[in-house]
Structure 1
Amino acid sequence: MTLPAVLRSAAYPYRANSLNLFRLILAAAVLFAHSWYIAGRGTGPSLQGENLGGWAVAGFFVLSGFLITRSRLRSTPGDYLLHRVARIYPAFVVVLVVTAAVFAPIALLVETGSLQGYLTTPVTPLQYMWGNLPLEIQHYNIGATLQSVPYPGAWNGSLWTLFYEFLCYLVVWVLGFLAVVRRSPVVVGALFLVSVAVYAALGVAQRGGLDESFALFARLLPFFLGGSAVFYLVERWGTNLIFGVASLAAAVGLIAAIPHWGGQVAAPCLAYGLLSLSAVIPQPGWIAKNDISYGFYIYAWPVQQLTVLFGGAQWGMIVYLAITVVVTAAFAWLSWVLVERPVMLAIRERRAKGSTRSEQLPGDIQPAAGT
């Protein structure tokens, strides 16, 4: 029996999709969500107690789980780790330096009219950079800066997700050593179900002494593994727009119907829905060539804080959002042109000179954002 054309699936277009655009939209959603409490206007739109930014991070993680799993199964272990570190870490280090050496002194000058004590008041700029260098954020504040804003003392409330994203990368790296993972989705699917169960029973784990860091990892891992599991489905059967829209509807229904862990159990539906849309929705050529989503994500928060400090929020949320989007996009483009793209081009040249069985993907050099 032949299926109607609208129900037929097509191979996923790994080299001609709109994932750059989708990730940029998700990064903009994080900026939008953060704007409300950075500007002192409440928490903004939310669903099941999670604001829009949290759901955007979930979108990042399901897409990342899909792409990173494919990358692992098509790469040597060494190449995989090299790409993962190179994609996240250089731009992360640069944003730490820019924040400590440029943004924070400007803020102190605006707030106090002087740089007195800037280098010596804890948390000092060097402490901020060194303490956050391992990717797990230990310091959000720098000295006496950002004390006059509605959300005081926090220079970048988005970077915390990168540590957990990298932990997810390591999970997939380990799984890639198992021959069964390369042949079958059973192990990844089982781990996804276990991760959902762990998050659903998080209270038990916390009573056993596991801390907030574990809770954050338990919250995000199911999204990543949900995307990983969908990779096998898409690799074998491709995507279909009708099924994709139905999957997104199912995801929304699960989130609305199941408090606490509905989003986690809906992760495969969310992943398949986003991938199906990205296969058919076109993206501007400039965005296809310039993936500024990661830079947008890591620079949005400090730009938002500085905009508030300079009085941008006093002109209303629409103006405030417009300013922060434009300025953040400029920093994101500079990050892409000066840091991210050169590093990835250097990695490509290294791979071209050596022997490898991995294949460069359009999305392979993209992090989830990580938020």
Structure 2
Amino acid sequence: MYIGLALAGALLPHAWLGAASFGSALLLAIFWLWRRAADLDTLPVPGLWRLGVEVVLDWLAWLGVFFCVGTCLQWFRSRVPFSAPVAATGLGVLPFVDNPLALTGMLWIAVPYAAVVFALAAPRWLQLVRGYDYSYGIYIYAFPVQQLCAQVEGRWIEVLLLSAAVTLAAAAISWHLIEKPALTLKKRLKRAPRGVCVPGVRSLLE
């Protein structure tokens, strides 16, 4: 998804990016809903099985809608009214929806919207750690760390605490050694002459 977003920023006119995000979300949603409504078997990406990896297009599409909806919220942020009561209402009605397809459609909108609202209205104690943003490291390291810690014998609470501690440590190391230094490149690219950046990358970075 990140690679696709970068390519869109580099290849498409700046004014088209919002429409591209919306169109991508719509196409992925139609693809997933069609396969689920037709009760079709899952569709793995061809050839990856040779590498011992299986990526299922159905679930890639399902997760991709969340990503693209979040991108749309960012792109049209000046037109979208972000409200905590609306976000809470959207999440609150989800347990009462019986139809699986309708529930999925509501999830695709309610969850990204609530996540953005929470991020914009984060409590003050969360803003205190803004200078040390371990969130992305926690996001990318949590799964592999959990899989490793699951091999350790012990009660589930012990494995949970161990994986949380190791994930946080990995995220902290990643922030200080990789992510924070990499963010300085963003400032350098924004100061660079126009001819240095691929067309569209400057607007994506900003």
TM-score, with structure 2 as normaliser = 0.69
Structure-2 residue corresponding to 1:280: 121
Structure-2 residue corresponding to 1:173: 9
C-alpha RMSD of the superposition: 3.6
Structure-2 residue corresponding to 1:330: 169
Structure-2 residue corresponding to 1:248: 91
Instruction: Name the CA distance, whole Å, in 1 between partners of 2:122 and 2:172.
Output: 23
Q: Tell me if the contact between 2:43 and 2:57 (Cα under 8 Å) persists in the aligned partners.
A: no
Structure-2 residue corresponding to 1:351: 190
More helix per residue: 1 or 2? 2
Whose relative contact order is higher, 1 or 2, with alpha carbons under 8 Å and at least 6 apart?
1
Q: Tell me if the contact between 1:227 and 1:267 (Cα under 8 Å) persists in the aligned partners.
A: no
CA deviation map 1:88-109 (0-9, x unaligned): xxxxxxxxxxxxxxxxxxxxxx
Structure-2 residue corresponding to 1:299: 141
Instruction: Name the CA distance, whole Å, in 2 between partners of 1:257 and 1:174.
Output: 42
Cα distance change on mapping 1:232 and 1:345 into 2, 3 Å:
closer
Please tell me whether residue 225 in structure 1 is matched to residue 64 in structure 2. no
Report the alpha carbon displacement of residue 289 of structure 1 after superposing the two structures with TM: 1.3
Q: Tell me if the contact between 2:6 and 2:204 (Cα under 8 Å) persists in the aligned partners.
A: no
Cα distance change on mapping 1:206 and 1:360 into 2, 3 Å:
same
AA in 2 matched with 1:303: V
Q: Tell me if the contact between 2:21 and 2:68 (Cα under 8 Å) persists in the aligned partners.
A: yes
Please tell me whether residue 289 in structure 1 is matched to residue 128 in structure 2. no
Report the alpha carbon displacement of residue 202 of structure 1 after superposing the two structures with TM: 1.8
Report the alpha carbon displacement of residue 207 of structure 1 after superposing the two structures with TM: 6.8
Structure-1 residue corresponding to 2:50: none
Instruction: Name the CA distance, whole Å, in 1 between partners of 2:59 and 2:9.
Output: 20
Secondary structure of the residue that 1:257 maps to in structure 2? coil
Secondary structure of the residue that 2:77 maps to in structure 1? helix
Cα distance change on mapping 1:265 and 1:323 into 2, 3 Å:
same
Secondary structure of the residue that 1:288 maps to in structure 2? coil
Cα distance change on mapping 1:171 and 1:264 into 2, 3 Å:
farther
Report the alpha carbon displacement of residue 333 of structure 1 after superposing the two structures with TM: 0.5
Report the alpha carbon displacement of residue 331 of structure 1 after superposing the two structures with TM: 1.3
Instruction: Name the CA distance, whole Å, in 2 between partners of 1:324 and 1:210.
Output: 30
Instruction: Name the CA distance, whole Å, in 1 between partners of 2:168 and 2:42.
Output: 44
Unaligned runs of 5+ in 1: 1-164, 362-371
Instruction: Name the CA distance, whole Å, in 2 between partners of 1:193 and 1:290.
Output: 35
Structure-1 residue corresponding to 2:29: 196
AA in 2 matched with 1:229: C
AA in 1 matched with 2:30: A
Choose from 244, 256, 271 the match for 2:112: 271
The structure with the largest alpha-carbon Rg is 1
Q: Tell me if the contact between 2:69 and 2:112 (Cα under 8 Å) persists in the aligned partners.
A: yes
Q: Report the number of matched residues.
A: 189
Cα distance change on mapping 1:304 and 1:284 into 2, 3 Å:
same
Report the alpha carbon displacement of residue 175 of structure 1 after superposing the two structures with TM: 8.0
AA in 2 matched with 1:299: Y
Unaligned runs of 5+ in 2: 46-54
Tell me whether 238-247 or 327-336 shows the greater mean CA deviation: 238-247
Report the alpha carbon displacement of residue 199 of structure 1 after superposing the two structures with TM: 0.5
Structure-1 residue corresponding to 2:57: 214
